[in-house]
């Protein structure tokens, strides 16, 4: 698939924004500025961006506890996301949701989700809506590897197939679910599991933006054309702990450093862009600088922003009551 | 207006709302019946025939049978509701909530709050509850106290065919997630039900009978029993108000408090397991906010803290009876 | 596998008892003598018996809403079962459980189950117990075809494989789940579904006692020897409705009659016994007569038996409270 | 006896019972941590380190990490308990109950009754609950009212390290299914805890403070807050009894009623969502059985009927505070 220069730069900007966002969150979380739990997406950027680049606002995604990257890739407002993590009234969800519940339905982002396996049934529902409302939309259910063992995920896979729903199950396989190795906890394999429902699987190199983009494009096209659910098994890695504060001692010695050094999706994408796609370092540096400024400003603004007011506690429970 | 069964009233509400709004659809297990099978389609219309006839009229795209996967289809209803349609899901027995509760508790009920008000989730879950058919421990529970406990859901418990049609119509038009409880023992109950669509607002209790001596608040099937008890008491000169809250969330606190302020005596009748049920909830409300009006203790009439037994010989003692309601109310008047 | 004459007669007695039990229940249910719901096993006898014949009291089974056959095959007391269905104090569960909750832990019968998919997790638990208590026991999870779409079933399959548990998933595929065709509701196939967890499947002719017995023997042996979970996909058919009262109009025209005429497991087993196993018609008729008397007596006794007393309502909720 | 954290008290109870009884085993997600991974084993010991050190001592056969399949492993615990072992399952957050509730509601809790007393199911579910860590709507709930509602389960809510060890030991030795609630905000709380094993019986409330003016019944983490409120009130000459029920099922009704009969005033503090919670349950109990002793309304101190908000600025208003408890109790004395 040939990619226009603009598309490539958009992809780069999105991936670099996620990386910068997550690194900043890591930093300010350690300083105690962000309350609650935070699960960072750094390392996995090529996946979210490579997929979401194919989606429009009428398409939906469901996300996971590790949702910042999906939200940014799907076009959520970055300063508002940062304010949300800070628990501020200017946050994307008025400070009521936080990291694990970032959502923006207008952008087709149905929410990060604190429940493993929470998303896939919702994705089926959005696909039913798309069919009923004739939007021609597809739905991507982002999932961690560990979530394949949740009954909800498997039920949704069966349901998606039985109804031939335009749902793409995007399994972001970073080898671990919390501290447990996926090799151990998943009997069979992702491909076999999907085959159990007659859902075709594409194995994807999640360190390579182009591979993700290509595979996702094909899967999304098929789903959109009525060929039913698809599964992407995306191999990748997360750079930080399961959540902020995790010492990650379950990892092999030097494992992460090696991945970072040899496979990092940002390094690789940058190299590809400059070497093969005729994009100048300077262009990327300019984007980097803009992103750095955006993130810095987001943090500044979030720090200054007003907190929710006591009365806000009681609103938004119901539309009417 | 004509006499219709509880079953028919529900069927009509579904039919009328499906006709009125093309974004309304239904999803559940065997709500059509016969899907994929060589014989009749619409063979069942739900396990007790409540949705019969809807699939032929609206087609399989809008009356959707599912695999036996409650988490998937209840969750699909939540996801559909958040993205522009108005699903009415059927959970065959509320006892099965344990297979899909997450999609209600943590998803549908919390979306709006977690997302800062940026979504609405207009879904309905219709479900069957209650004892009386010897359906035993896993098919006879009430469980509406659990849903009442959860902020973000509305809980509706109709007590007659008329109530069922109006409240279900409201539920489908409502913009919040609603769970709608149908008592399995009431489907053949008959009553006057208008032919045209109408709504009954949530959070407005129905005064089914007025009297100055004792307030009886009763839920669902218990409303009828409470009225029968009140009939008997009236013969003894004890005059009861019987209040049907219709919805336990929202709850019409004002109507309950106003009535107790008038009578000074309260009996709450709840078919649900006794601990942390709606009976205790209403009792606590009154003990806090109308204490000064109370002339005596607040009495609860509920089953014992046991699973629902199978044997009819036991189940009859399990379910609150007219006699227990009557005797409890009478005891508040100083009677035996 | 050669089968001793005694074993064959035991199998016959067990199958014929189930058939007679169910036919009697059908009759007295129609007369209003039995309260609640009843889901009959008639037609499926070869499955429960062919499997349970390999089990001893230290082995467990979990069952379904269609549990009478499993209970009889696992050795539960027949008159006590009938009394249970009648809701009497002499019932196997004192009248508190009824048809959907018949259980006898001493016989290794962990209960009929009103929840589709309720059994498989329990089966895994019994297998953990067996391992921990060194009983060398195996566990058979009887399941309907429809239950394969429950998250609980699929989670349990994964768990059984991950822990290499001695669990046999015995899928009794009677083509329907309630009124819904299994062909339609199960994406993939039973074999593919199991392969999704690396669980081997044996396709079994559930109309043929010998095929069930052979396949079950091999699967149980493997599980007992530590080769992990196995799945039996047993094709069979139920003769009555999903529950008593079901008009079964979803079936194809003449479908059931044809099955009954051409495949009935009792007819076939009888024919095999007399033709190939040197068992006389008279021996079987004697057994039939004994069974008829047993069932008749069970019904008489159940009708006469004492009902539970009001005080029984409050007992057996807790061991102590 | 030495000062130990809540975390350590729980760890000790687990360790001691595992040593004492070889049929006790543990099962849950990352209660070991590192299973199948190339790095450290026992890398986590649970998400907050509560079970750390147990896997090295007892091995992977008795401290079992599972795939992320709550229905399977909670159900496996139920099945194991019914067949001769004594599992202690960890449900990481009680908020996840929606993924496995069926195995508690319809299986473990009902076995004994449905089977006519022919089985015991000695399983424990340890689980984390409560607000205060900005864990937001899906990781901050209490939900024990839901379990209290269900006949067949016992519900334990320890309020201190000492209570935690004694009650967990009892839970593991108990022959019924027990759910044991650990407040995530309390793991670092310290208190005196004996080194040797001991049990605290279920259904016996703990009188943490005696006073004649007001009875405060508080649950779990709220016990500490209630005592702080009582301290402040004592300075104003208002003397409170603070009762910790320890278990909500069974509930020590007698202790509560006796105390109210003495003080005539009751405040119930429950961190759970307010509708149909344990607060309303206790209020209803008293309004029915000790009405004559009451000198004024029964007051409930609970959060509002909303999901738990993420922002600390909101969460602080959500959780019942010492001030609210204090002011509520004072209002019963006619104070402002
Ligand atoms: C139902 C449920 N069970 C358990 C958890 C705790 N939990 C949060 S994230 C996680 C691991 C998820 O692993 P994976 O799906 O691989 O995603 P990753 O974190 O690797 O992106 C677990 C077990 C949860 N949030 N929800
Ligand atoms: C969790 C749950 N969902 C739905 C039901 C209702 N129900 C009872 S039996 C049944 C069909 C089961 O079909 P199958 O597994 O094929 O078993 P069969 O009845 O054919 O033996 C259904 C849907 C239930 N009891 N439990
Ligand atoms: Mg992972
Ligand atoms: Mg079937």
Q: Span D78-88, mean pLDDT?
A: 98
Domain boundaries, chain C: 5-304
Do residues B300 and D288 lie in contact, with contact meaning Cβ atoms separated by under 8 Å? yes
**What pLDDT score does C97 carry?**
98
Say whether C3 sits in a helix, a strand or coil. Answer: coil
Percent of chain C with pLDDT over 70: 100
How many angstroms is it from A144 CA to the middle of ligand 3? 5
Q: Among candidates A103, A266, A172, A178, which has minimal Cα distance to D46?
A: A178
Question: How far apart are alpha carbons B275 and D284 in whole angstroms?
Answer: 10
| Phi, psi (rounded to 5 degrees) for C49 | -75, -45
Q: Is B29 a pocket residue for ligand 2 (Cβ < 6 Å)?
A: yes
Do residues B27 and B73 lie in contact, with contact meaning Cβ atoms separated by under 8 Å? yes
Q: If pLDDT is split at 50, 70 and 90, which confidence band does C300 have? A: very high
Do residues C302 and C295 lie in contact, with contact meaning Cβ atoms separated by under 8 Å? no
In this structure, which topology does domain C5-304 adopt according to CATH?
A: Rossmann fold (3.40.50)
**Burial class (CB within 10 angstroms; exposed 0-12, middle 13-18, buried 19+) of C275:** exposed
Please say if the pLDDT value at position D311 is more than 80.
yes
Domain count within chain D: 2
Do residues B284 and B148 lie in contact, with contact meaning Cβ atoms separated by under 8 Å? no
Residues D267 and D320 in one domain: yes
Distance of CA C53 to the CA centre of its chain: 12
Residues D262 and D114 in one domain: no
Q: Among candidates C252, C286, A181, D196, which has minimal Cα distance to B39?
A: C252
Name chain B contacts of C181, Cβ cutoff 8 Å. 34-38
Q: Span C70-86, mean pLDDT?
A: 98
**What pLDDT score does B1 carry?**
74
Residues D171 and D31 in one domain: yes
- Ligand 1: atom nearest CA of D99 is 1
Closest in B36, B134, B306 to C98, CB measured = B134
Q: Span D93-117, mean pLDDT?
A: 98
Percent of chain B with pLDDT over 90: 99
Please say if the pLDDT value at position C148 is more than 80.
yes
Say whether B134 sits in a helix, a strand or coil. Answer: coil
For residue B270, tell me if it sits in a domain: yes
For residue B319, tell me if it sits in a domain: yes
Low-confidence ranges of chain A (pLDDT < 70): 1
- Residue A48 neighbours by CB under 8 Å, 6+ apart: A18, A41, A69, A70, A72, A73, A74, A142
Mark yes or no for CB contact D307/B114 under 8 Å: yes
N residues, chain D: 336
Ligand 1 pocket, mutate which of D68, D89, D96 (most atoms under 8 A from CB): D68
For the stretch A5-50, pLDDT in tens is 999 999 999 999 999 999 999 999 999 999 999 999 999 999 999 9
Q: Among candidates C189, C196, C198, which has minimal Cα distance to C161?
A: C198
For residue D200, tell me if it sits in a domain: no
Distance of CA C210 to the CA centre of its chain: 17
Q: Which CATH number goes with the domain that contains B288?
A: 3.40.50.920
Residues B144 and B226 in one domain: no
Please say if the pLDDT value at position C29 is more than 70.
yes
**What pLDDT score does A23 carry?**
98
Do residues A94 and B117 lie in contact, with contact meaning Cβ atoms separated by under 8 Å? yes
For the stretch D286-310, pLDDT in tens is 999 999 999 999 999 999 999 999 9
Distances (CA, A) of D254 to B48, D2, D171, D245, D301: 45, 32, 22, 11, 22
Name chain D contacts of B279, Cβ cutoff 8 Å. 284
Percent of chain C with pLDDT over 90: 99
How close C180 comes to chain A (CA, Å)? Answer: 13
Residues B36 and B13 in one domain: yes
For the stretch C83-140, pLDDT in tens is 999 999 999 999 999 999 999 999 999 999 999 999 999 999 999 999 999 999 999 9
Nearest CA in chain A to C197: A188
Residues B231 and B152 in one domain: no
β-bridge pairing D240-244 and A167-173: unpaired
Residues D61 and D84 in one domain: yes
Q: Which CATH number goes with the domain that contains D27?
A: 3.40.50.970
Closest in D35, D135, D314 to A180, CB measured = D35
Say whether C170 sits in a helix, a strand or coil. Answer: strand
Do residues C127 and D80 lie in contact, with contact meaning Cβ atoms separated by under 8 Å? no
**What pLDDT score does A1 carry?**
63
**What pLDDT score does D335 carry?**
56
Q: DSSP code of C181? A: E
For residue B285, tell me if it sits in a domain: yes
Closest in D33, D70, D136 to A97, CB measured = D136
Mark yes or no for CB contact D138/B106 under 8 Å: yes
Do residues D90 and D76 lie in contact, with contact meaning Cβ atoms separated by under 8 Å? no
Please say if the pLDDT value at position B27 is more than 60.
yes
Distances (CA, A) of B25 to A126, B79, B128, C117, D68: 13, 13, 19, 27, 33
Q: Is C47 a pocket residue for ligand 2 (Cβ < 6 Å)?
A: no
**What pLDDT score does B26 carry?**
98
Say if residue B274 is preceded by a cis peptide, omega within 30 of 0.
no
For the stretch B29-73, pLDDT in tens is 999 999 999 999 999 999 999 999 999 999 999 999 999 999 999
**B269 is in which domain, residue-wise?**
206-332
Tokens of C253: 């025209």
Domain boundary among B166, B193, B220: B193
Do residues A195 and A32 lie in contact, with contact meaning Cβ atoms separated by under 8 Å? no
Tokens of D1: 């006896």
For D109-141, give one letter per residue: b (16+ CB within 10 A) or e: bbbbbbbbbbbbbbbbbbbbbbbbbbbbbbbbb
Say whether D215 sits in a helix, a strand or coil. Answer: strand
How many angstroms is it from B271 CA to the middle of ligand 2? 26
Domain boundary among D193, D215, D230: D193
How many angstroms is it from C158 CA to the middle of ligand 4? 22
Residues D115 and D232 in one domain: no
Residues D170 and D296 in one domain: no
Q: What pTM value is reported for the model?
A: 0.98
For the stretch C152-200, pLDDT in tens is 999 999 999 999 999 999 999 999 999 999 999 999 999 999 999 999 9
Backbone CA torsion sign across A311, A314, A315, A316: positive
Tokens of B161: 């065919």
Q: If pLDDT is split at 50, 70 and 90, which confidence band does B335 have? A: low
Q: Among candidates A130, A141, A14, A29, which has minimal Cα distance to A78?
A: A14
Number of neighbouring beta carbons within 10 Å of residue A243: 18
**Burial class (CB within 10 angstroms; exposed 0-12, middle 13-18, buried 19+) of B218:** buried
Question: How far apart are alpha carbons A216 and B293 in whole angstroms?
Answer: 68
β-bridge pairing B154-156 and B178-183: parallel
Kindly write down the DSSP assignment for every residue of B83-132, as one continuous string: TT-EEEEEEEEGGGGGGTHHIIIIIITTHHHHTTT------EEEEEE-SS
For A282-316, give one letter per residue: b (16+ CB within 10 A) or e: eebeebbeebeebbeebbebbeebebbeeebbebb
Backbone CA torsion sign across C63, C68, C71, C73: negative
Q: Contacts by D15-18 with C-beta closer than 8 Å and gap 24+?
A: D15/D53, D15/D54, D15/D57, D16/D169, D16/D197, D17/D88, D17/D169, D17/D172, D17/D173, D17/D197, D18/D54, D18/D57, D18/D58, D18/D62
Mark yes or no for CB contact A151/C155 under 8 Å: yes
Mutation pick from A250, A254, A256 vs chain D, by most beta carbons of D within 10 Å, is: A250
Tokens of A180: 């447990």
Residues D32 and D63 in one domain: yes
Q: If pLDDT is split at 50, 70 and 90, which confidence band does D1 have? A: confident
> Any idea which residue has 């819904």 for tokens?
C180
Number of neighbouring beta carbons within 10 Å of residue A1: 8
How many angstroms is it from D138 CA to the middle of ligand 3? 20
Catalytic residue at D139? Answer: yes
For residue B123, tell me if it sits in a domain: yes
3-state helix, strand, coil in chain D (%, to 5): 40, 20, 45
Say whether B183 sits in a helix, a strand or coil. Answer: strand
Residues B12 and B126 in one domain: yes
Residues D12 and D141 in one domain: yes
Do residues B200 and B166 lie in contact, with contact meaning Cβ atoms separated by under 8 Å? yes
Longest Cα separation, chain A:
60
Do residues B150 and D307 lie in contact, with contact meaning Cβ atoms separated by under 8 Å? no
Mark yes or no for CB contact A193/C194 under 8 Å: no
């Amino acid at each position: 698939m040939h990619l226009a220069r603009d598309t490539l730069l958009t992809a780069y900007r999105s991936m670099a924004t996620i990386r910068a966002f997550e690194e900043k969150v890591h930093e300010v979380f350690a300083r105690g500025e962000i309350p609650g739990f935070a699960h960072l997406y750094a390392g996995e950027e090529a996946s979210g961006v490579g997929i979401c680049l194919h989606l429009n606002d009428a398409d939906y995604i469901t996300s996971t506890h590790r949702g910042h990257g999906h939200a940014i890739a799907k076009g959520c407002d970055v300063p508002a996301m940062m304010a949300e993590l800070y628990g501020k009234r200017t946050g994307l969800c008025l400070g009521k949701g936080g990291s694990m519940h970032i959502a923006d339905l207008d952008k087709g982002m149905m929410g990060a989700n604190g429940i493993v396996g929470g998303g896939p049934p919702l994705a089926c529902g959005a696909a039913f809506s798309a069919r009923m409302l004739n939007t021609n939309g597809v739905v991507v259910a982002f999932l961690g590897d560990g979530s394949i063992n949740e009954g909800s995920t498997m039920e949704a896979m069966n349901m998606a197939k039985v109804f031939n729903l335009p749902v793409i199950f995007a399994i972001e396989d970073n080898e671990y679910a919390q501290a447990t190795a996926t090799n151990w906890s998943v009997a069979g394999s992702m491909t076999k599991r999907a085959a159990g429902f007659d859902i075709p699987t594409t194995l994807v190199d999640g360190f390579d933006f182009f591979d993700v983009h290509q595979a996702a494009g094909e899967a999304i096209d098929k789903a959109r054309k009525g060929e039913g659910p698809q599964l992407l098994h995306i191999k990748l890695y997360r750079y930080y702990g399961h959540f902020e504060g995790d010492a990650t001692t379950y990892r092999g010695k030097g494992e992460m450093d090696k991945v970072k050094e040899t496979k990092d999706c940002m390094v690789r994408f940058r190299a590809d862009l400059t070497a093969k796609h005729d994009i100048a370092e300077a262009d990327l540096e300019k984007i980097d600088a803009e992103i750095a400024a955006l993130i810095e400003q987001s943090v500044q603004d979030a720090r200054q922003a007003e907190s929710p007011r006591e009365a806000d506690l009681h609103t938004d429970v119901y539309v009417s009551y | 207006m004509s006499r219709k069964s509880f079953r028919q009233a529900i069927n009509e509400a579904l039919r009328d709302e499906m006709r009125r709004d093309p974004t309304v659809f239904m999803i559940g297990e065997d709500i059509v019946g016969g899907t994929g099978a060589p014989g009749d389609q619409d063979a069942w219309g739900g396990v007790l025939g409540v949705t019969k006839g809807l699939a032929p009229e609206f087609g399989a795209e809008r009356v959707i049978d599912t695999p036996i996967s409650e988490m998937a289809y209840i969750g699909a209803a939540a996801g559909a509701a958040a993205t522009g349609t108005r699903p009415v899901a059927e959970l065959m027995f509320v006892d099965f909530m344990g297979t899909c509760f997450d999609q209600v508790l943590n998803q549908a009920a919390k979306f709006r709050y977690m997302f800062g008000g940026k979504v609405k989730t207009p879904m309905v879950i219709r479900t069957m509850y209650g004892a009386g058919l010897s359906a035993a421990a896993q098919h006879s529970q009430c469980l509406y106290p659990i849903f009442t406990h959860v902020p973000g859901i509305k809980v509706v418990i109709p007590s007659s065919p008329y109530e069922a049609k109006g409240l279900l119509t409201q539920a489908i038009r409502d913009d919040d997630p609603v769970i709608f409880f149908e008592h399995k023992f009431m489907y053949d109950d008959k009553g006057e039900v208008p032919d045209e669509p109408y709504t009954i607002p949530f959070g407005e209790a129905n005064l089914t009978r007025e009297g100055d001596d004792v307030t009886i608040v009763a839920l669902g099937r218990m409303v009828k029993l409470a009225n029968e008890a009140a009939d008997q008491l009236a013969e003894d000169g004890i005059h009861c108000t019987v209040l049907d809250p219709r919805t336990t969330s929202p709850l019409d606190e004002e109507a309950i408090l106003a009535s107790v302020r008038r009578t000074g005596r309260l009996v709450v009748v709840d078919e649900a397991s006794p601990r942390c049920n709606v009976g205790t909830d209403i009792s606590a409300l009154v003990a806090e906010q109308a204490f000064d009006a109370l002339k005596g203790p607040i009495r609860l009439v509920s089953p014992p803290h046991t699973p629902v037994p199978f044997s009819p010989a036991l189940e009859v003692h399990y379910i609150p009876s007219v006699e227990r309601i009557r005797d409890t109310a009478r005891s508040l008047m100083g009677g035996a």
